[in-house]
Chains A and B, each alone.
Chain A
């Protein structure tokens, strides 16, 4: 097996075993209802994690994701509720704003040649601050369109519901996988994560690709923000605090190397589902408290970082020591 597939295989095996154990303990977890809710409840995280996957494969990190989700929620709510703009137009505006925002971060990272974490940190402050300046309160959204979309569900046998936003997440994952694995842009993203100097010598448009990667991440975060507004029917500036950490965790647990260069969009899907499983299990159990989620995620994160270290440190014949890289 290719070594880049090993962490993903480990995740998949862990997911299957964990799910099987959960089902043994709570047979009702094996139902279309639970599975449907799995998708719906994690849709916003999944969509944001797709963008994060691209960023991390390219060797960067995006700390602004949660803030962009919060900002988008507020922006959409304000546009719809205060200005009476149709939701679809509001969504388009929000996506456009996020695209510009991501482009600005990408440009800064590339041209100032600074670590992505510090730039996206500024982005996080900016987006949270911007949202809070617009409003400090939750802005409710009361629009028929929201009801229509929320009502779009496919009923599954066994009482499950496949919601529109659940399907949207799946669609984003499929598109993301195509983009990553079947387009030149995707190959450039991997190239940047592998070796930026080589990539540029091989003709990869480094600046353009970097900008596109952060645009993609911010726009998917904005889409996640729109989806989030469907759960709450409101925009709140402090919504989705810390979601970037969940997204990073899902990406890493899904087999993407945090140092860049290796990873799979569909692996992130398994990562998101594994996080969802932990949460669902804790809810089913009832005696366990919610904070176990974070601890389990932290433990998984640690295990996968060490696992990747072991798999990829068995250094390849042609590579120099990491000290020099």
Chain B
């Protein structure tokens, strides 16, 4: 058991996270200082976990989608919709659990819609999920009627800002979700089937795996996770901002999944590593902030990360040496 643990610690994602944290510490010596105050932990590290939670939650759902060779561009918009649903419902006087369940149901429905387009109508995932990406924010604004709906419902706010055993609630939710979903896919055959579809859909079909139901499931899960992230973000700012909630977070989630070692071409995936990917993104974000750079600098760093990962994953290096700069796609024939 212990040996297994050591092996796990040596993987590139955890090393990268450690590296980023170390740089943060060099830039900001108090980075690792954690204090206990009012029954909860405070500190930059806790901040990383807390701020990274929404992307981590999205990444949990996105991992399954990408493992099937798909992508879900609509999660940011679904966040906005579900945040709006939860906020407007508590403002309208519904009990918090009803509002939360309704928001989750809406997220699930959005995911099923995507799954329907991909699995049943057989539309390319990037195109299918574009529809909700475009329309979703409009729907969210429709629900909030264009304003930022603020609320004072303590139970809902607790989801975003409360703490559990000293840890921020958002991080606890992300962690629990990660464990549950990992458990769901690893303790059932779902994870194996997802990989099988992503690696070779023709062989999966000949092995008797029904890909349609499975695709519906992964997109539904992605929508559900987006709903949770949307509620967390709304609860954090005590309001639903249809315009900005989750804006571009789908791209961060994709990036987190890719950093977590899941290829955009589908196949092997790791949900915990995608969560680590989200933490790496957030740690860099925090590092940039604490070291006095402008937050926008973060975008450039993210772009650099994408390029770096593409370079690492691409067969270009190998081809450069053999002197054949023909893309594999064209050379295959």
Q: Which residues of B125-157 have CB atoms within 8 Å of chain A's CB atoms?
A: 126-128, 130-142, 145-146
Q: Are A297 and B135 in contact (CB under 8 A)?
A: yes
Q: Closest residue to B205 on the A side, CB-wise?
A: A323
Contact of A125 among B122, B300, B327 (CB under 8 A): B300
A305 to B298, CA, bound (A): 35
- CB-based contact A123/B135 at 8 Å: no
Which residues of chain B are within 8 angstroms of A294 by Cβ–Cβ distance? 134-135, 137-139, 141
- For residue B101, CB closer than 8 A to chain A, the reply is no
Q: Is B316 at the interface (CB under 8 A from chain A)? A: yes
Interface flag for B330 (CB, 8 Å): yes
User: Would you call B300 and A126 a contact (CB within 8 A)?
Assistant: yes
Please, which residues of chain B bring their CB within 8 A of the CB of A290?
Answer: 141, 146
> Shortest beta-carbon distance, B73 to chain A, in Å?
8
- B330/A298 in contact, CB under 8 A: no
User: Of A112, A123, A131, A323, which contacts B303 at CB under 8 A?
Assistant: A123
User: B189 an interface residue at 8 Å Cβ cutoff?
Assistant: no
Would you call A249 an interface residue if the criterion is a C-beta within 8 Å of the partner chain's C-beta atoms?
yes
**Taking CB as reference atom, which chain A residue is nearest B298?**
A129
User: What A residues does B140 contact at CB under 8 A?
Assistant: 291
Chain B: how many interface residues by the 8 Å CB criterion?
56
**B132 surroundings in chain A (CB, below 8 A):** 298
B136 touching A118, Cβ below 8 Å: no
Within 8 A of A (CB), among B236-270: 242, 247, 251, 254, 258, 264
Segment with Cβ contacts to A, from B10-18, B55-63, B305-313: B305-313
A117 CA / B258 CA spacing, docked (Å) = 13
Given contacts A292-B138, A295-B138, contact A128 B299 (CB under 8 A): yes
Report which of A118, A259, A289, A296 forms a contact with B310, defined as CB distance below 8 A. A118
What's the dominant secondary structure at chain A's contact region?
helix
Contacts of B142 in A (CB 8 A): 289, 291-292, 295
Pairwise interchain contact A306-B134, C-beta atoms closer than 8 A: no
Beta-carbon contact of B131 and A298 below 8 Å? yes
Q: Is A309 an interface residue (CB 8 A)?
A: yes
Interface residue? B27 (CB, 8 A): no
Q: Is B294 an interface residue (CB 8 A)?
A: yes
B137 with A291: CB separation less than 8 A? yes
Contact assessment for B134 and A301 in the assembled complex, using a CB-CB cutoff below 8 Å: yes
A114 cross-chain contacts in B, Cβ below 8 A: 264, 310, 313-314
When C-beta atoms are compared, the residue in chain A nearest to B138 turns out to be A294
Given A110-B327, A112-B314, A291-B141, CB of A125 within 8 Å of CB of B124: no
B121 interfacial by beta-carbon distance below 8 Å: yes
Q: Known interface pairs A305-B127, A305-B128. Does A129 touch B296 (Cβ–Cβ under 8 Å)? A: yes
Among residues of A, the one whose C-beta sits closest to the C-beta of B202 is A323
Kindly provide the distance from the CB of B128 to the nearest chain A CB, expressed in whole angstroms.
7
Contact with A along B316-331 (1 / 0, CB 8 A): 1000000001011110
Complex contact A136–B314 (CB within 8 A) = no
The CA of A323 and the CA of B131, in the complex, are separated in Å by 22
Q: How many of A's residues come within 8 Å of B, CB to CB?
A: 55
List, in ascending order, chain A residues with CB within 8 A of B332's CB.
197
Using Cβ atoms and an 8 Å threshold, which residues of chain B touch A119?
Answer: 306, 310
**Residues on A with beta carbons closer than 8 Å to the beta carbon of B296:** 128-129, 131-133, 136, 237
- Complex interface: chain A residues within 8 A of B134 (CB): 245, 249, 294, 297-298, 301
A171 CB-CB contact with B under 8 Å: no
In the complex, chain A residues whose CB is within 8 Å of the CB of B303: 122-126, 129
Q: How far is the CA of A153 from the CA of B256 in the complex (A)?
A: 49
Alpha-carbon distance A306/B117, docked complex (angstroms): 9
Chain A residues lying within 8 Å of B124, measured Cβ to Cβ, are: 258-259
Known contacts A197-B329, A291-B137, A295-B139, A133 near B310 by CB under 8 Å: no
Task: Specify which chain A residues have a CB less than 8 angstroms from the CB of B183 in the assembled complex.
Answer: none
Given known contacts A129-B300, A295-B139, is B329 in contact with A113 (CB within 8 Å)? yes
Known interface pairs A289-B146, A294-B138, A323-B201; A113-B299 also in contact (CB < 8 Å) = no
Which of B136, B297, B315, B330 is close to A197, meaning CB atoms less than 8 Å apart?
Answer: B330
Given contacts A294-B139, A295-B142, A309-B122, 4 further A-B contacts (CB under 8 A): A112-B310, A237-B296, A291-B137, A298-B136
B residues near A (Cβ < 8 Å) are: 71, 117, 121-124, 126-128, 130-142, 145-146, 201-202, 242, 247, 251, 254, 258, 264, 294, 296-303, 306-307, 310-311, 313-316, 325, 327-330, 332-333
Query: CB within 8 Å of B: which residues of A?
Result: 61, 108, 110-115, 117-119, 121-126, 128-133, 136, 196-197, 200-201, 206-207, 237, 241, 245, 248-249, 258-259, 289-299, 301-302, 305-306, 309, 322-323
